[in-house]
């Protein structure tokens, strides 16, 4: 698919990678429906896109809410005069060891169900809802298209991220499942799995942990959103790519 033909939803678009994807699409002349719970960030994004060749539409979106997902997709299709792409980017972190011992008291502490539920609600259930509503809209209109899921290299397993790992591993597996289910509608499904990327979610990391992580990346640096955009762009443009996940992590080895 040519970027100039894209009519895409981008979730989690108020900041970080989502904002970068939305702007890069608009720069290429695409139409973009950008959604997020952070409406101030969406307003800033819309202002940044004002003079770009494409058109950027913004609207509140809470992917953890089924009604919000359905309403957003309907609004996006109407605003753009159709819909043929989804960049399933929205995500949160609520890291913590599943079971740990307090260093001071020796007390055994467990990951709360609230931490688990919050991450699964946004990173997995929300992603599933957005795919369901978007692909149903494409299928009803007879419009071929593409879904790009944002997984993570954490799907291979990462200490302190039981919730995030579970969600991102499931999303990578569903990418294969959906590529098979949606082929009858002419809809491809691919995934991109970022490693450590410089975003508002990661910028506040403990410096010691950050330095240790960089030391484990063979290219010697943390990634930037543009690195991930190049992979997303490939999935959108390559009509033969389907049902696979691309790791973009600088060769990181946990």
Which residues are part of the catalytic machinery?
164
Nearest-angstrom CA–CA distance, 95 and 57? 32
DSSP state string for 14-39: TSHHHHHHHHHHHHTT-EEEEEES-H
In 3D space, the residue among 127, 227, 223 whose CA is nearest the CA of residue 173 turns out to be: 127
**DSSP reduced 3-state for 130:** helix
CB 31 within 8 A of CB 82: no
**Nearest CA among 219, 216, 221, 241 for reference residue 231:** 241
Residue 117 burial class via C-beta count within 10 angstroms: exposed 0-12, middle 13-18, buried 19 and up: middle
- Exposed/middle/buried for residue 66 (C-beta within 10 Å: 0-12, 13-18, 19+): middle
Both tokens of 25, joined, read: 């699409």
């Amino acid at each position: 698919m040519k970027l100039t033909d894209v009519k895409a939803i981008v979730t989690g678009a108020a900041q970080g990678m989502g904002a970068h994807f939305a702007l890069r699409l608009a720069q290429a002349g695409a139409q973009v429906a950008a959604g997020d719970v952070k409406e101030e960030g969406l307003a800033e994004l819309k202002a940044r896109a004002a003079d770009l060749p494409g058109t950027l539409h913004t609207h509140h979106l809470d992917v953890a809410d089924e009604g919000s997902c359905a309403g957003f997709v309907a609004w996006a299709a109407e605003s753009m005069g159709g819909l043929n792409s989804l960049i399933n980017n929205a995500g949160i972190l609520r890291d913590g060891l599943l079971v740990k011992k307090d260093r001071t008291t020796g007390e055994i502490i467990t990951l709360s169900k609230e931490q688990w539920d919050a991450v699964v609600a946004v990173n997995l259930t929300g992603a599933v809802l957005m795919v369901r509503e978007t692909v149903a809209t494409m299928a009803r209109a007879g419009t071929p298209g593409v879904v790009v899921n944002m997984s993570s290299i954490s799907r291979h397993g990462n200490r302190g991220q039981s919730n995030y790992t579970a969600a991102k591993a499931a999303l990578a597996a569903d990418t294969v499942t959906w590529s098979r289910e949606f082929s009858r509608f002419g809809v491809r499904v691919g995934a991109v799995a970022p490693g450590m990327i410089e975003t508002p979610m990661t910028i506040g990391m403990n410096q010691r942990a950050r330095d240790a992580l960089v030391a484990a990346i063979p290219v010697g640096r943390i990634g930037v959103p543009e690195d991930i955009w190049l992979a997303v762009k490939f999935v959108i443009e390559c009509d033969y790519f389907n049902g696979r996940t691309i790791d973009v992590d600088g060769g990181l080895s946990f």
